Structure 1
Amino acid sequence: MGRLIRRIAPLALLAALVFPAQLFAADPIKVGGLFASSGKSAFVGTASKLVAEMTVKQINAAGGILGRPLEMVIYDTESDPNVALQKARQLVEKDGVLAIIGPTTTGGGMAIKQYTEAQQIPSIMTVGGDAIIAGGKYGPFLWTFKVPQRTETAVKKIYALLHEKGLKTVGILTAQDGFGQDGMMHLEAQAAHYGLTVVAKETLDPKDSDYSAQAFKLTVGKPDAVVVWVIGPSGAIAQKNFKALPNYTGLVVQCHGQPDPKFIELAGAASEGALMPGTKLMAPDALAEDDPQRPVIKQFLADYTANGYDKEFPINTHSGYALDALLLLKAGLEKAGAVDRAALRDALEQLKGVVGVSGVFSMTPEDHNGLDEASMLMLTVKDGVFRVAQ
C-alpha cells in the first residue's frame, strides 16, 4: 500500500470516512470501528483509530473492495465496556454496518460479544485476551475473530525461552481484570509442559501505584523468573519494584502487551534486561530478507511515519492491529465475492496465508486468530531499545 496523506485530522466521537462518489459506481461498504480514544486505554485506542483511518484511505485509493469504497464509522468506547456495548448497538441498529473492527480491550470485547454473536455481526477484534474466542464457558465465537496473538501463544513463547535457559521455577503476577485472569489461567496450565513449577502467585490492581508488597512475596522463594501479566503503566511499575529488591537476581518477564517505548521510559534503568514476547514490528531490522512479513512491516512503518503518527504515538506492539483487522476484512470479502455478513464470516474462517503486520494469518473453525508462536519474537531491552533476546 502506498503512502497517502501526511496527516489525517483527528475525528470527533463519530467519524465517517467518505470518498468522492464519482470514483466508484457502487455504494460504499460500511463497517464500524470501536476504539478507546479516551480513558485508560487511549494510549492504544487512539493510535489504532488513526491507523484504521489511514488504512481505509489506502484501500480506497487502491480501488476499494469488490469495486466498492470502504466507509468506516468510528466510535470512542471511552475504555468502558458498557460504552463499548452501547456503541456496538448503535453501529448495528442505527448505522447498519456490515462488520465491526475492534474494540481495544478484552473487557470491551467480552461486553459486546454476546450481542454481536446474537446479531450475527462479523467482528474482528483488536483485544489481547483469549476469552473472546475461547468457547466453552465464554460462549460461542462463530462470528468473533481477533488479531493480536492469543494469550496461550504468548505464554508458550515465554515458557519456551525459560525452558531453553534451563530454568525450573516461576512466580506469577497478574492483573485483577479479564486480561490478567486469562494470563493466570494459561501461565498455570502451560508450566508443567515446559518443566516449570509455579512457586508463587499474586495479583495487582492496575489502578495502584506500587506493587512492592507483591514483588517481595513472589520472590521470597527465589524463583528463577517472575512473569508480570498486565497492560499499561503497571508493567513498568512492577518492573521497578522487582529490580529494587536487593536479594532477587532472577529474570523479570513482561507480557506481550508491554513492548512499547513507553515501558522503557516509565521503567527507566529498571527496564534494562526486561524480557517480553512481541510482534516482529518491534525488531524489523532483525527479519530475514525472505520473511514474508518484512515488506509489509517496512511499508507500514514508512506510512505511519509519513503521517506523523510516530511523533505522538511511537511504534509499539499494538500499532498494527487495526491495519491487520482491515486486511482480514478485505481478504474475507474478496474471498466471499459478496458483501454479505454470513458469506464474510465463512470466508474469514477459511483464510490462509494473509500476511499482516502481526503475523501470517491462517484461520480455522477452531482458531479464529490464526497466529502461532512463529509470529512472535522474544524481545529484551538493551541500552534503552528493544532487541531480539538471545
Structure 2
Amino acid sequence: MKKVLFSLALFCFALPSSAAEPIKIGAFFDLSGPAAFIGTPTKLVAEMVVEKINQEGGIDGRSLELIINDTEGDPAKAANIAKKFLYKDQVAAIIGPTRTGTGMSVKPIVEKAGIPTFMTVGGDPVIMGGKFGPFTSVFKSPQRSSIAVKRLFIHLQDKGLTRIGLLSASDSFGKDGARWMEELAPQYGIEIVAHESFGPKDTDMTAQLTNLKRAQPQALVCWTIGPAGAIVAKNRVQLGIDLPLFQCHGLPDPKYIELAGTAAEGNRMPSTKLMVANELPDSDPQKKVIEEFLRLYQEKGFDRQFPINTHSGYAWDAIMIVAEAMKKAGTKPQALRAAIENTRNHVGVSGIYNLSPDDHNGLDVDSMVIVEVKKAEFTLAD
C-alpha cells in the first residue's frame, strides 16, 4: 500500500502544475444598452469559438476560460472591468469591447499593463498612434473605418458618383468615419458638398437631409450604427429625396432591413463577405471558414434570435488569432503580443489577416464587398 501511495505521489509531482489550469481570457461586450444587439451575439460567438478550441485540445492541453462582463456601453464601466480583468482575474488576454468610445477608455489601461487586447470595435483610434495614444498591445478584428471608406469610394468612383452629401453620427464611431471620408475623398476624386451630423439617439433627421439635398449631391452617405441608420433611410423616402443612399460597414444586418422596411430597398454599403456567403465562389479562401462558422452558429440556434450580420464573425476572428498566437508563443504578455503582431495569412470570417507593427488590424479593401438590399435581402451589388 505504501508503494502505491509513493508511486501516486511521484506521478502527481511529475505533472506540470499548470496542466489543469485554464487560460483565462477577459471578454466584455455591450450586453445591455443601445448596442446590446451587437454585443450579445458577439458574446455568444466568443463562447462558441472557445468551446470549439477546447474540444480540439485547447492550448497545449490547457482549456480556455472566458470571464465575461457587460460594459453596458458605458466607457467608465468598461475601464473598471478592464482593471478587474488585469488585477483581480489576471487574464492572459482580453477580447472586446463593442464600441469605439468604450474601447478608447480601455486603451490606456491595457497599454500600461501590456496585456494583449483584441478589440471588436469599428473605429480606428484604438489602433492609431499620435494624439490617440500608443497601440502596442491593442489590436482589432473589424475592418478599419479607413478601409471601409476606401471600399465605398472605389464603388462610388466606379459608378461615376463624385459629389456626395455626408450625414454622420456625433459619437466616436461617426466622427471616425467622417474624418476618414474628408481625408480620403480627394484621392478618389470625390467631393463632399455638404456635411451634417446627428446624435446617435436622435429620432428624426429630416432637417439634416433637407440641408444636404439643397447642396445637390449625386448620392448620400450615412455613417452610423444602430437604429439611426434606418431612421435616415425612412426620412429620405418620406422627404421624396431621389438620391442613392449608402450606409457604412456597421449596418449590413437584417435588423436594419427590419427597422427601415421598404425604405431599405436599393441601399448599398460595404460589408464583410459573411453577408453574402452563398454568392462566394468556391475559389475564395474564406468560403470554407465562413461555412464552418455558419454551420456552428446555426447548430447552436443563435440565428433564430440573432440573425447573421456583418458583426457576427469579429469575436471568432479575434479569439482564433489569439489562440494561434498562444500555441506558438505561450501566454506571457510580451511573447503573446509579439506573436499576435506577427500573424500572417490568417484566414478568418471577416477577411485574411496580415498584421504588422504598424497595422494592428491587418485587413485590406479586398476583405470587403459592396452589398445591396434587394427584396429585403442582402446581395452582392453589381
Cα deviation digits, residues 108-142 of structure 1 (max 9, x gap)? 10010000000111000000000001111000000
Listed as ranges, the matches of 1:232-243 within 5 Å are 232-243=226-237
Q: For the Cα contact (< 8 Å) 1:102–1:123, is it kept in 2?
A: yes
Distance 2:189 2:166 in 1: 16
Q: Secondary structure at the match of 1:226?
A: strand
Equivalent in the alignment of 2:318: 325
Match of 1:368 among 328, 350, 360: 360
Equivalent in the alignment of 2:289: 296
For residue 143 of structure 1, report the CA deviation from its aligned partner.
0.3
Gaps of 5+ in 1: 1-23
Equivalent in the alignment of 2:6: none
Equivalent in the alignment of 1:350: 342
TM-score by length of 1: 0.92
Distance 1:58 1:301 in 2: 13
Q: Secondary structure at the match of 1:171?
A: strand
Equivalent in the alignment of 1:151: 145
Equivalent in the alignment of 1:98: 92
For residue 332 of structure 1, report the CA deviation from its aligned partner.
1.3
Q: Secondary structure at the match of 2:350?
A: coil
For residue 58 of structure 1, report the CA deviation from its aligned partner.
0.7
Question: Aligned residues: percent identity?
Answer: 50
**Alignment pair present for 1:226 and 2:220:** yes
Distance 1:219 1:72 in 2: 49
For residue 372 of structure 1, report the CA deviation from its aligned partner.
0.4
Letter in 1 for 2:343: L
Distance 1:342 1:131 in 2: 22
Distance 2:183 2:154 in 1: 14
Q: For the Cα contact (< 8 Å) 1:201–1:218, is it kept in 2?
A: yes
Cα deviation digits, residues 292-351 of structure 1 (max 9, x gap)? 110111111111111111111110000111111100101111232x22110010011111
Distance 1:185 1:208 in 2: 21
Letter in 1 for 2:340: L
Match of 1:40 among 34, 39, 57: 34
For residue 68 of structure 1, report the CA deviation from its aligned partner.
1.2
Listed as ranges, the matches of 1:125-144 within 5 Å are 125-144=119-138
For residue 66 of structure 1, report the CA deviation from its aligned partner.
2.3
Gaps of 5+ in 2: 1-17
Match of 2:250 among 253, 257, 261: 257
Match of 1:72 among 40, 45, 66: 66
Letter in 2 for 1:382: K
For residue 244 of structure 1, report the CA deviation from its aligned partner.
2.2
Equivalent in the alignment of 1:113: 107
Letter in 2 for 1:27: E
For residue 31 of structure 1, report the CA deviation from its aligned partner.
0.9
For residue 225 of structure 1, report the CA deviation from its aligned partner.
1.0
Letter in 1 for 2:159: K
Cα deviation digits, residues 347-381 of structure 1 (max 9, x gap)? 11111011111001000100000000100110000
Distance 1:31 1:280 in 2: 28
The count of residues paired between Structure 1 and Structure 2 equals 366
Letter in 1 for 2:166: I
Cα deviation digits, residues 193-228 of structure 1 (max 9, x gap)? 111111000001011111011011011122011110
Listed as ranges, the matches of 1:302-317 within 5 Å are 302-317=295-310
**Alignment pair present for 1:176 and 2:176:** no
Letter in 2 for 1:166: G
Distance 1:52 1:26 in 2: 22
Q: Secondary structure at the match of 2:97?
A: coil
Equivalent in the alignment of 1:187: 181
Distance 2:134 2:205 in 1: 36
Cα deviation digits, residues 254-310 of structure 1 (max 9, x gap)? 000000001001101110000100100000011110211101111111111111111
Match of 2:76 among 82, 87, 93: 82
Q: Secondary structure at the match of 2:76?
A: helix
Distance 1:354 1:105 in 2: 24
Equivalent in the alignment of 2:192: 198
Match of 1:273 among 266, 272, 275: 266
Q: Which stretches of structure 1, 4 residues or more, deviate above 4 A after TM superposition?
A: none
Distance 2:179 2:247 in 1: 16
More helix per residue: 2
Q: For the Cα contact (< 8 Å) 1:259–1:316, is it kept in 2?
A: yes
Q: Secondary structure at the match of 1:227?
A: strand
Equivalent in the alignment of 2:380: 388
Cα deviation digits, residues 239-261 of structure 1 (max 9, x gap)? 11112222x32211000000000
Q: Secondary structure at the match of 2:136?
A: coil
For residue 65 of structure 1, report the CA deviation from its aligned partner.
1.1
Letter in 1 for 2:88: K
Distance 1:272 1:279 in 2: 19
Per mean C-alpha deviation after superposition, the further-off stretch among 63-72 and 228-237 is 63-72
TM-score by length of 2: 0.94
Equivalent in the alignment of 1:167: 161
For residue 25 of structure 1, report the CA deviation from its aligned partner.
3.4
Distance 2:374 2:69 in 1: 38
